Amino acid sequence: MKRTTIELADGRELIYFDERDDAVRDQPDRRELPPPPPASQLRYDPLTDEWVAVAVHRQSRIFLPPADQCPLCPSRGDRLSEIPAPDYDVAVFENRFPSLSQRIASEPAEITPFTPVRPGQGRCEVVCFTDDHHTSFAGLPPARVRTVLDALADRTAALAELPGVEQIFCFENRGVEIGVTLHHPHGQIYAYPFVTPRTRAMLGAARRHAERTGGGNLYADVLAAERAAGTRVVAANEHWTAYVPAAARWPFEVHVAPHRPVPDIPALTDAERDAFGPLYLDLLRRFDALFDMPMPYIAAWHQAPVRIDRELGHLHLQLFSIRRATDKLKYLAGSESGMGVFINDIAPERAAALLKGGAPA
C-alpha cells in the first residue's frame, strides 16, 4: 500500500491509500475555500457525567447533493471536489465540518458553576472507501476491504498521538434512514478528547469481571460462550466470529470479533486483517438480503481507549440496523431515549436464524 499526503486549499490534510506503488497523487486542490471553522464547544452535563459537543457550524454542511455534485467523488475537469485526484482507491481527509478539531481559537467562558466548558479538541476525518459513487461497502472486493482496514489502522495510530485525544472511533453510517448526508460510500473517524459514555460503561463491566475472575477478559469470555452455544453465531472463520448478542438492543445486531483479544485495529496481524474482509462482506450481503433491499446500518468499531484500561478492551465491530421489517423502522422512543432502556421487537435467536437464512422474514 502506498501512502501519500497532500494539503487541501484551506489547509486541511488529505491522505491517499493506494493499492499500486506507482500511483501519482500530485494534483493540487484548485478550489478557493474559506478557512476551516474553529473547534466546537464541549459542555459538561453534571447530571449524567457526560460531555456534549455544540458545533453550530455543522448546520450548514452539505446535505444529500445530486451525484454530479458529490464532494467525495474524484475531481474531473471543472467539477472540483474534496478529492483533487481524478481517481483513487481509499482517501482520508479532515472533515470540512468537524464536530472536533485541533483548531482552537480561544477558551470558552464558564456557563454555570456546574457546567464546565472547554474547546472541542480532537479531530474528525472522512474515509472514502472507493471512487465509485454508485456502489456500497458490500460491493467492494476483499482486497479493498483490506486497504480500508489498513487505512483505519494507520489513522488510529496517528490520531492517538494528537494532544488531548483519549479515544478513536471508526464507523460507517449507511442509508437515509440512519441520517446520512452524503450517498457516496464513506465512513468517518472521530478522535475524542474523553472516553465516551458507552466505552466507560463497558470498561466498568470488564473491570468488575476481571476482579471477580482473577483477571478474566469479559469480552473474550462472552465470545467464547457464544461460540460454544452456537445458536446466535451467523458466520465464522479461523480468525473471526460474527454473532448476534444474546441481549441485542437492535432488531438486527451483529458483533464481529477477532478470536485473539487485541485492543485496537493496529494490533491486528496481517492474517487477521485478510480474514476480516470475506466474512464481513458476506455479513453485509446477508443484511441486504433480509428484506431484498439495501439495509440501513451503522458499523461501529469498539477500540480500547488510547491511554487507559487498554488491557480491558477487546476490539470488535458492532453492526446494527434500525430496520425491523420491510416497512417498519425501530425508533428510539420514550424508554430508549428517555431512560436508555432498549426494548427489542425481534428475539436475538430469530434474528440470527434470519441472517443465517434458516427462517422466513
The pLDDT profile of the chain, 361 residues, written as one tens digit per residue, is 999 999 999 999 999 999 999 999 999 999 999 999 999 999 999 999 999 999 988 988 888 999 999 999 999 999 999 999 999 999 999 999 999 999 998 777 778 999 999 999 999 999 999 999 999 999 999 999 999 999 999 999 999 999 999 999 999 999 999 999 999 999 999 999 999 999 999 999 999 999 999 999 999 999 999 999 999 999 999 999 999 999 999 999 999 999 999 999 999 999 999 999 999 999 999 999 999 999 999 999 999 999 999 999 999 999 999 999 999 999 999 999 999 999 999 999 999 999 999 555 5
Q: How would you class 98 by CB atoms within 10 Å of its CB: exposed for 0-12, middle for 13-18, buried for 19 or more?
A: buried
3-state class of 50 per DSSP? strand
The whole-number pLDDT of residue 359 equals 54
Instruction: Give the residue from 130, 164, 194 where a domain finishes.
Output: 194
Residue with cell 483548531: 103
Q: Which three cell numbers stand for residue 115?
A: 457546567
Known active-site residue 259: no
Domain membership flag for residue 53? yes
Domain membership flag for residue 361? no
- Options 183, 184, 186, 239, the catalytic residue: 186
Domain membership flag for residue 214? yes
Total domains in the chain come to 2
Instruction: Give the residue from 194, 212, 230 where a domain finishes.
Output: 194
Backbone φ and ψ for 289, nearest 5 degrees, come out as -80, -15
List, edge to edge, every strand of the sheet that includes 233-236. Answer: 2-7, 13-18, 90-94, 123-128, 186-192, 167-174, 297-302, 316-321, 252-258, 240-243, 233-236
Give the sign of the dihedral formed by CA 61, CA 67, CA 69, CA 70.
Answer: positive
- Please tell me whether residues 150 and 246 are part of one structural domain: no
- Please tell me whether residues 275 and 331 are part of one structural domain: yes
Strands 316-321 and 297-302: antiparallel
Question: pTM of the prediction?
Answer: 0.96
- Please tell me whether residues 33 and 106 are part of one structural domain: yes
- Please tell me whether residues 216 and 189 are part of one structural domain: no
Alpha helices in the chain (DSSP H): 142-159, 197-213, 218-229, 270-290, 348-356
Q: How would you class 361 by CB atoms within 10 Å of its CB: exposed for 0-12, middle for 13-18, buried for 19 or more?
A: exposed
Give the sign of the dihedral formed by CA 337, CA 339, CA 341, CA 343.
Answer: negative
The whole-number pLDDT of residue 48 equals 96
Instruction: Give the residue from 161, 194, 227 where a domain finishes.
Output: 194
- Please tell me whether residues 41 and 113 are part of one structural domain: yes
- Please tell me whether residues 158 and 67 are part of one structural domain: yes
Domain that holds residue 111: 2-194
The whole-number pLDDT of residue 352 equals 97
Domain membership flag for residue 329? yes
- Please tell me whether residues 180 and 220 are part of one structural domain: no
The whole-number pLDDT of residue 361 equals 52
- Please tell me whether residues 336 and 295 are part of one structural domain: yes
Domain membership flag for residue 179? yes
Q: What share of the chain is helix, strand, coil (3-state, %, to 5)?
A: 30, 25, 45
- Please tell me whether residues 244 and 315 are part of one structural domain: yes
- Judge whether 101 and 124 are in contact, CB under 8 Å: yes
Which domain CATH number covers 153?
Answer: 3.30.428.10
- Please tell me whether residues 172 and 247 are part of one structural domain: no
Domain membership flag for residue 93? yes
- Please tell me whether residues 143 and 217 are part of one structural domain: no
Domain membership flag for residue 91? yes
Domain membership flag for residue 107? yes
- Please tell me whether residues 49 and 169 are part of one structural domain: yes
